[in-house]
């Protein structure tokens, strides 16, 4: 469940129509994948469209929080693939976690790669990153296992898939931020949770069908190339839902 709540979407006619539609659709709780995709399509479109959002625009002020987080994640994983986990931790100022159990490394990575949570969009990005890291590294015990999994992301050319998943989860966090409290107040927590679970499941299943298109093994993630690629991956991810 998204945790960035308390946000009031713009009070324009388009947003009013979307909020009414979401409330009506959610009253029965769980919805079909088709209905969930239609809702996500409307949400992305009303927010400004995939291309506009990917370049820092959008009605809910997306900025570049997600892209900046994605670039840090990509840079970290690429470094692990090149020089190993210990040297990468040292270069990120996390040398005290070298050799520590995975249960200590993972929260430190989320905190470092998530960046400052100074805005609601930063918080959305951190929540999305936490979900992705939990799926990728949750249950691991040793630093060697963490290193092996991160190296496999690079060796298997799965980095684009990972970044797409992060952007999809960011979309979910933003959707929850806009609608969660409104839905709880109107249809109750049980139906709200069931409905949002349907939205999340649809995002996950849709992303599973997306094929990687880019070789990301030799990218300067801190430069203009890295920014362009993350912008494009975010746009491609949102366009899966017709945005």
Q: Tell me how many domains the chain contains.
A: 1
**Contact of 199 with 32, CB cutoff 8 Å:** no
Tens of pLDDT, residues 108-122: 999 999 988 788 889
Tokens for 143, please give them.
């630093």
Residue 191 within a domain: yes
Give the rounded distance of the alpha carbon of 34 from its chain centre: 21
Q: Per the domain annotation, does 3 fall within a domain?
A: no
Q: 190 in a domain, yes or no?
A: yes
In angstroms, the CA 109 to CA 98 distance is: 12
Answer positive or negative: Cα dihedral of 17, 19, 20, 26.
Answer: positive
Q: Residue 61's pLDDT band (boundaries 50, 70, 90)?
A: low
Residue 7 has pLDDT above 80, yes or no: no
Note the pLDDT tens digit of each residue in 118-169: 888 899 999 999 999 999 999 999 999 999 999 999 886 799 999 999 999 9
Distance (Å, rounded) from C-alpha 220 to C-alpha 230? 11
Range of the domain at 161: 13-239
Residue 111: inside a domain, yes or no? yes
What pTM was estimated for this model as a whole? 0.93
Structure token pair of residue 20: 């009414």
Instruction: Give domain status of residue 23, yes or no.
Output: yes
């Amino acid at each position: 469940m998204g945790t960035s709540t308390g946000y009031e979407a713009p009070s324009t006619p388009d947003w009013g129509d979307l909020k009414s539609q979401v409330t009506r659709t959610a009253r029965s709780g769980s919805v079909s994948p088709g209905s969930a995709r239609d809702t996500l399509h409307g949400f992305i479109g009303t927010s400004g469209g995939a291309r506009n959002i990917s370049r820092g625009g959008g009605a809910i002020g997306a900025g570049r929080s997600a892209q900046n987080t994605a670039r840090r994640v990509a840079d970290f994983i690429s470094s692990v693939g090149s020089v190993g986990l210990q040297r990468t931790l040292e270069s990120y100022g996390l040398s005290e976690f070298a050799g520590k159990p995975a249960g200590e490394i993972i929260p430190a990575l989320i905190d470092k790669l998530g960046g400052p949570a100074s805005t609601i969009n930063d918080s959305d990005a951190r929540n999305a990153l936490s979900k992705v890291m939990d799926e990728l590294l949750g249950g691991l015990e040793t630093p060697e296992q963490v290193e092996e999994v991160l190296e496999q992301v690079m060796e298997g050319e799965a980095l684009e898939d990972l970044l797409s998943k992060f952007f999809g989860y960011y979309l979910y966090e933003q959707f929850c931020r806009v609608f969660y409290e409104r839905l709880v107040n109107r249809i109750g927590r049980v139906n709200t949770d069931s409905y949002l679970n349907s939205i999340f499941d649809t995002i996950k299943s849709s992303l599973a069908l997306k094929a990687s298109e880019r070789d990301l093994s030799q990218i300067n993630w801190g430069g203009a190339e890295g920014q362009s690629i993350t912008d494009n991956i975010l746009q491609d991810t949102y366009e899966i839902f017709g945005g």
